[in-house]
Amino acid sequence: MCAGAPEHAAGGGLTDSKAMQDISLPIPPIEPTLDHHAERPFVIVHEQLERKPNGAFRPSASLKLMPDLRTSGFLRALPAAELKTLICLLTFLSPNGEILPSLPDIAQGLNISEREAHDRMEHLLAFTWQGRPIVMYVARETALPAYTLCPDVLTRHEHAVYNAPTEPPLKVANREEVIALSREKYSRPRTLVEEQIEQQFHRGEPPPVIDEDDLHADLRRRLLAVGVANEQVNILFQHYSPETISQQLEWLPHRHANAPARYLVAAIQNSYQAPLSLRHRHAASEEEMATADQPSDSIPPS
């Protein structure tokens, strides 16, 4: 037992006094490993979104935190207050991949005064890693001075491309095609329209009862078919009754307007009268009716 004890102690380090002394020694500090050849803790990835065949794209950028941020001892060396300020600085990454917040931006981001923000940034500017600063001050001619990361802690991937699936280009119809399609989908026979106009305009008969939601939906479809913008349709619905809008829509085919949408909106807003052709037709009809109602001068046969 006793002979085997020293070997056990030497192998396991449980009873050997020198081994116990070695275990109680403080852990030596980790030497910084961040250098110009190591992987830097921050990487900005530039992306090209919605790239088109002609080369146009929408720029975007994202920030990646690399393992070296943890393994190099960078986080342990940076005080907590400076780390919080650094995180706030990183959140100002723009779609073009720039980090350039001004002092008011930092103050607003941390919800502190500009004076306190200035002191925080001064502490962060004074912090060095491997003898080099991690943040630097940028003077600008056309804007407030700003702060940004130093190149020693930052890497950029310039050519990361994301090609979004592009839909085939829409065919732009000409005026005649739009009119033909609108007539095919939304127009009604002329005789039916004239009959309805006659009932509403001349005889004073009330229009048929239509559900309000269905009426608005039908009017919206007809206004859009003429070419009125959706926003303008909403405005018309807010300020004018469905009857007013419907009446001007019924009269529009008789106006032969060069710009139907603009003319229709003006007609609704200014309460234009019925088209001249319809007024002449109604006047002639009234004259015929008046003539028919007059007594005859001839003497009836005895």
Domain contains 206:
yes
Q: What pLDDT sits at residue 12?
A: 42
What is the Cα–Cα distance from 158 to 46, expressed in whole angstroms? 5
Weakly modelled stretches of the chain, pLDDT under 50:
1-37, 298-299, 302
Domain boundary among 97, 131, 157: 157
**In the sheet that 42-49 helps form, which strands lie side by side, from edge to edge?**
58-65, 42-49, 154-157
Domain contains 264:
yes
Q: CB-based burial of residue 265 (10 Å sphere; 0-12 exposed, 13-18 middle, 19+ buried)?
A: buried
Domain contains 220:
yes
Domain contains 218:
yes
Which residues on adjacent β-strands are paired with residue 135?
A: 149
**Of the candidates 217, 283, 277, 282, the residue with the CA atom closest to the CA atom of residue 246:** 217
Which residues on adjacent β-strands are paired with residue 63?
A: 44
Q: Is 22 helix (H, G, I), strand (E, B) or coil?
A: helix
Which residues on adjacent β-strands are paired with residue 138?
A: 146
In terms of residue numbers, what domain contains 93?
A: 42-157
- Is the separation of the CB atoms in 163 and 105 below 8 Å? no
- 52 φ, ψ (degrees, to nearest 5): -110, 165
Query: Are 129 and 192 members of one domain?
Result: no
Q: What pLDDT sits at residue 107?
A: 93
Q: What pLDDT sits at residue 287?
A: 66
Residues 6 or more apart in contact with residue 33 via CB below 8 angstroms = 68, 71, 72, 73
Tell me, rounded to whole angstroms, the distance of Cα 95 from its chain centroid.
Answer: 14
Helix (H) or strand (E) holding 154: strand 154-157
Q: What pLDDT sits at residue 170?
A: 61
What is the Cα–Cα distance from 173 to 227, expressed in whole angstroms? 13
Query: Are 179 and 222 members of one domain?
Result: yes
Instruction: Report the number of distinct structural domains present in the chain.
Output: 2
Domain contains 97:
yes
Q: What pLDDT sits at residue 135?
A: 92
Domain contains 13:
no
- Is the separation of the CB atoms in 242 and 219 below 8 Å? yes
Domain contains 18:
no
CATH code (residue 103): 1.10.10.2340
What is the Cα–Cα distance from 136 to 124, expressed in whole angstroms? 9
